Amino acid sequence: MAQWEAWTITALGMAVVFIGLVACIAFIQLFGRLSQHITWGDEGHGHGGAAAVVPAAAPAADASPSAQVPPDVLAVIAVVIELERKLYMNKPGARVTIRRQPPIA
Residues 36 and 59 both lie in one domain: no
| Phi and psi torsions of 58, nearest 5° | -70, 130
- CA-based R_g, the chain, Å: 28
pLDDT in tens, 13-61: 999 999 999 999 999 999 988 888 877 666 555 555 444 555 555 555 5
Q: How confident is the model at residue 12 (pLDDT cuts 50, 70, 90)?
A: very high
Residues 52 and 95 both lie in one domain: yes
**Mean of pLDDT over the chain:** 77
Could you tell me the residue range of the domain that residue 31 belongs to? 1-41
Q: pTM score > 0.75 for this model?
A: no
In the chain, pLDDT over 90 holds for what percent of residues? 28
Residues 58 and 32 both lie in one domain: no
Residues 52 and 101 both lie in one domain: yes
Residues 36 and 53 both lie in one domain: no
- Burial zone of 54 (CB within 10 Å; 0-12 exposed, 13-18 middle, 19+ buried): middle
Q: What percentage of the chain's residues is helix, strand, coil (to nearest 5)?
A: 50, 0, 50
Count: domains in the chain: 2
Residues 26 and 77 both lie in one domain: no
Neighbours of 70 (CB within 10 A): 9
Q: How confident is the model at residue 90 (pLDDT cuts 50, 70, 90)?
A: low
Residues 95 and 61 both lie in one domain: yes
